[in-house]
Amino acid sequence: MTKEILIIKVGALGDVLRTTFLPPLLKRKYQECKISWVTSIKAVELLKNNPHIDEIYAIEGKAKINGRFDIILCLDDEHESAELATRLSGGKIIGSYADGNKVRYTNSSAPWFGMGLLRPEEEGGLERANEFKKMNSKSYFQLIANIVNIQYNGEKPNLFLTEAEIAYGKEFAKRYGISKNDFVVGVNTGAGKRWQSKQWSVEKTVDTIDILAGKLGFKVILFGGEDEEGRNNSIKARCKSKIIDSGTKNSLRGFASIISICSLVICSDTLALHIATSLDKKVIALIGPTSASEIYLFGKGIKICPEMECECFYKSKCTAKKCCMDTIIPEKVSLAAKELHEKS
């Protein structure tokens, strides 16, 4: 009999994408199973064309989800997701669930949720959760695989571009004179409005681009979303070297299509990082106010962390007198890029 499995992972976009490593492992464990996924309307774009996911629902249309599920894995801490998991469960819940107006989590998922917002006040609350985050030595993938009792062997997230989307990336390359022999570096050091503390300064980004494009002769593509429009305009205006602007109004899949032509992506801990790893790209990850241990680059990248301990761990805005991200210097990033280029 087919086992019905439901994954509930709504936000953020990068977290949705990195969780796509899981469906193939679930299908390997439960050979006769159907996997459904509830996410946000926007994140649906990241799950399209994934052969390991049988049905995709937007949480905004939850009334259309019928039936009960044998296993529900709910990885969100919001009440709406937890309530949905509780309502649709016909068997086992792993992760968060609703207990009246409160959101709780199952014992098996404590290694993950115990490092987050749901940690009970009687167990130290968010302050203690952040301490555990700092001490954690396991990647996100190891943590999630462990709570569903599956061995993790380095499987990466999955983003499946269509032939048309791959062609769009190639056409972009042709338009800007990028050849197959070029070492193409995508730069995405912003972090949107939600996680401003993750972004690297405009000044250091400019200095890095001038080393990469000027001294090293790499082709550099500037990436960003609509929230980075002003920031990216400042970067373009200050750069002395030639830079290719990908624009800030790309669709999610258009954004990924252009990343697909990059040899290396330099980014903070954002969606761009997870798209790059999904597409098997080399990555330089600039990691400040989040857990470096949770980030896994699949043997194809370098993590660069600040020279000082972050005082604003997992805060959306930096409140410290000196931002930890400012201790990451362009020379270190460009040397890492040169190292990864030489390994090509």
**What global pTM score does this model have?**
0.94
Q: Is the peptide bond before 256 cis (omega within 30 degrees of 0)?
A: no
What is each CA distance from 153 to 45, 142, 146, 150, in whole angstroms? 27, 9, 11, 10
Note the pLDDT of residue 60: 83
The C-alpha angle 207, 195, 46, rounded to 5 degrees, equals 100
Note the pLDDT of residue 194: 67
DSSP 289: S
Residue 202's pLDDT band (boundaries 50, 70, 90)?
Answer: very high
Closest CA to 125 of 135, 134, 115: 115
Helical (H) or strand (E) element with 70: strand 69-74
Min mean pLDDT across 167-171, 222-226, 323-327 is at: 323-327
Average pLDDT rounded to a whole number, residues 294-317: 79
Min mean pLDDT across 162-176, 268-282, 300-314 is at: 300-314
Longest dimension (CA), the chain: 63
pLDDT of residue 104 exceeding 90, the answer is yes
CB atoms within 10 A of CB 278: 23
Residue 101's pLDDT band (boundaries 50, 70, 90)?
Answer: very high
Closest CA to 342 of 199, 200, 189, 183: 183
Q: Do domains 3-147 and 163-342 have the same CATH topology?
A: yes
Note the pLDDT of residue 306: 85
User: Does CATH number 3.40.50.2000 belong to domain 163-342?
Assistant: yes
DSSP 94: E
Residue 165's pLDDT band (boundaries 50, 70, 90)?
Answer: very high
Note the pLDDT of residue 326: 83
Every domain of the chain and the residues it spans: 3-147, 163-342
Give the whole-angstrom CA distance, residue 8 versus residue 56. Answer: 10
Q: What is the pLDDT of residues 42-100, one digit of tens each?
A: 999 999 999 999 999 998 865 578 789 999 999 999 999 999 999 999 999 999 999 99
State how far Cα 180 lies from the chain centre. Answer: 27
Q: What is the pLDDT of residues 252-267, one digit of tens each?
A: 999 999 999 999 999 9
State how far Cα 281 lies from the chain centre. Answer: 14
* Torsion sign, CA atoms 312, 315, 319, 324: positive
Q: What is the pLDDT of residues 214-254, one digit of tens each?
A: 999 999 999 999 999 999 999 999 999 999 999 999 999 99
User: In sequence order, which residues have a C-beta less than 8 Å from that of residue 256 and are 6 or more positions away?
Assistant: 159, 161, 165, 275, 278, 279
Average pLDDT rounded to a whole number, residues 200-210: 96
Superfamily of the domain at 3-147: Glycogen Phosphorylase B; (3.40.50.2000)
Tokens 């761009």 correspond to 272
Give the whole-angstrom CA distance, residue 36 versus residue 56. Answer: 6
Note the pLDDT of residue 132: 86
Q: In the chain, where does DSSP find H-type helix?
A: 13-18, 22-29, 44-47, 79-88, 110-113, 125-135, 140-147, 163-175, 202-209, 229-238, 252-259, 271-278, 330-342
92 backbone dihedrals φ, ψ, rounded to 5° = -110, 135
* Torsion sign, CA atoms 65, 143, 118, 89: positive
